[in-house]
Amino acid sequence: MSHLWSFGIDLSGLPESFKNLVGIQVIGATLSVLRPKMGIPLKVFCAPARYTQGPHATVQLGAEIRKLGLEGPALIIAGGSAVRLLSETWGRTFAEEGMSYEVHRFAGECTTAEIRRGGKAARAMKARVLIGAGGGKVLDTVRAIAADLSLPVVNCPTLASSDAPCSALSVVYTELGGFEEYRIYRRNPDLVLVDTAVIAKSPLRMLVAGMGDALATWFEAKACFQAGVKNMRGGASTRTALALAELCYKTLLDDGVAAIAALHQQEPNDSLERVVEANTLLSGLGFESSGLAAAHAIHNGLTTAPGTHRYMHGEKVAFGLLSQLVLESQPQSIVDEVLGFSESVGLPITFAEIGIGSPSQDLLEQVAKRATAPGETIHNEPVPVTPERVVEAMRAADSAATSFRQSMPKHTCP
């Protein structure tokens, strides 16, 4: 439990090094203890200021922005599909609120150059709010631009392909598609608005990839909690964050298959609403306020293998999760549950399904070296981690997936 104590004692002559060590501040004759008792870290939980989800939510975009006290002009940075699907609705919703806006086309990858290009467009129109519309890479780019320009940001995902929309973090890639860096910002988005009528018309692979990203949230959250490490916001995890991460996992198991049916019909159903919430909100809050571990670090390592570049973030994270479960020596029942879910929705579970076939030892060592680089989230694991152990875990995960498939009942035609 944290406390703030004040004492009427003149300790202004204390050395600064001592005051910093014990967490006190001296103002005149008052000694204030600013930190909790040594050994009890502060818990930190972060979230967007507002989250709005439902069919045709874009109709209310202008009104939702106004409710937060934000004003135009607005710059919308959008992918091609978002422009095609939403241009007419943007015109109506901003006209109703008397808000001017412009649209800037996203080039396709969250790179340093693309962040600079978007920033130049925002400055040119004197934007007062930035809006990202599209997939996770669009939203990562918009958050980076907003942070650079100290502007409010609104995220409007048109895909449920990752947990990026709610976070105060961007994943920046090189021009060749390799992982470059995480950028962590001071605040989460001002508004996340999710139009499930749009998502119901999105490619099935995108939704499934989002499930792959979200699938890892609970396991990475547990690993960070067990290791006692800081979350993505620099504090300890709250029970709230862990509960949301677990709910995310349970939602996927309960509703993942049924949500796929909604995309086949191109109409939202209750299961799709719950899975979109899991992929976007539950996973986003769970990972940021609990932390990342081996699954995402192995994803980052996999980006060094050119064969994986055509595979989505969540697809590589799904394989990274299997490797994490092996690394942690999780019970076979847990591994089988994750494999069974992955098979049921079409997530990759073998080397071949993430583009590296029968990888050489050199290639896997390259992946493992990147995954275990200093500062990587794999060091949040509660077990010892070395590049050699990561290579072994990846090979064992691929082998476990192959054995799992072979053990499944064979269906024959009558």
Strands 179-184 vs 169-173: parallel, antiparallel or unpaired: antiparallel
The DSSP secondary structure of 17-72, one letter per residue, reads HHHHHHTEEEETTEEEE-SPSTT-PPB-----S-EEEETTGGGGHHHHHHHTT--S
204-407 matches 51-199 in CATH topology: no
- d(CA 154, CA 77) in angstroms, rounded, equals 10
Is the bond preceding 203 in cis, omega lying within 30 degrees of 0? no
Please, which residues bridge with residue 171 across strands?
182
CATH number corresponding to 51-199: 3.40.50.1970
Catalytic residue ranges: 213, 296, 299, 313
Give the residue carrying structure tokens 């650079």.
148
Select from 1.20.1250.20, 1.10.600.10, 1.20.1090.10, 1.20.1250.30 the CATH code of 204-407. 1.20.1090.10
- d(CA 301, CA 370) in angstroms, rounded, equals 5
- d(CA 116, CA 135) in angstroms, rounded, equals 19
Torsion sign across C-alpha atoms 173, 174, 180, 185: negative
> Residues 228-268: pLDDT tens digits?
999 988 999 999 999 999 999 999 999 999 999 999 999 99
Q: Give backbone dihedrals phi and psi of 132, rounded to 5 degrees, phi first.
A: -105, 130
Please, which residues bridge with residue 32 across strands?
6, 25
Extended strands (E) in 212-325: none
- d(CA 153, CA 414) in angstroms, rounded, equals 57
Of 294, 289, 285, the residue nearest 236 (C-alpha): 289
Q: How many C-beta atoms lie closer than 10 Å to residue 39's C-beta?
A: 5
Q: Which of the 8 DSSP states describes residue 43? A: B
Contact residues for 136 (Cβ-Cβ < 8 A; gap 6+)? 157, 159, 161, 162, 164, 165, 171, 313
pLDDT values of the chain reduced to their tens digit, one per residue, 414 residues: 333 333 333 444 444 443 443 333 433 333 333 444 456 789 999 999 999 999 999 999 999 999 999 999 999 999 999 999 999 999 999 999 999 999 999 998 999 999 999 999 999 999 999 999 998 899 999 999 999 999 999 999 999 998 889 999 998 999 988 889 989 999 999 999 999 999 999 999 999 999 999 999 999 999 999 999 999 889 999 999 999 999 999 999 999 999 999 999 999 999 999 999 999 999 999 999 999 999 999 999 999 999 999 999 999 999 999 999 999 999 999 999 999 999 999 999 999 999 999 999 999 999 999 999 999 999 999 999 999 999 999 999 999 999 999 988 765 444
pTM: 0.85
Q: Give the angle 198-242-226 at the CA atoms, nearest 5°.
A: 135
| Token digits of residue 243 | 């509960």
Domains in the chain: boundaries: 1-40, 51-199, 204-407
Q: Which of the 8 DSSP states describes residue 74? A: E
Please, which residues bridge with residue 30 across strands?
27
Q: How many C-beta atoms lie closer than 10 Å to residue 343's C-beta?
A: 14
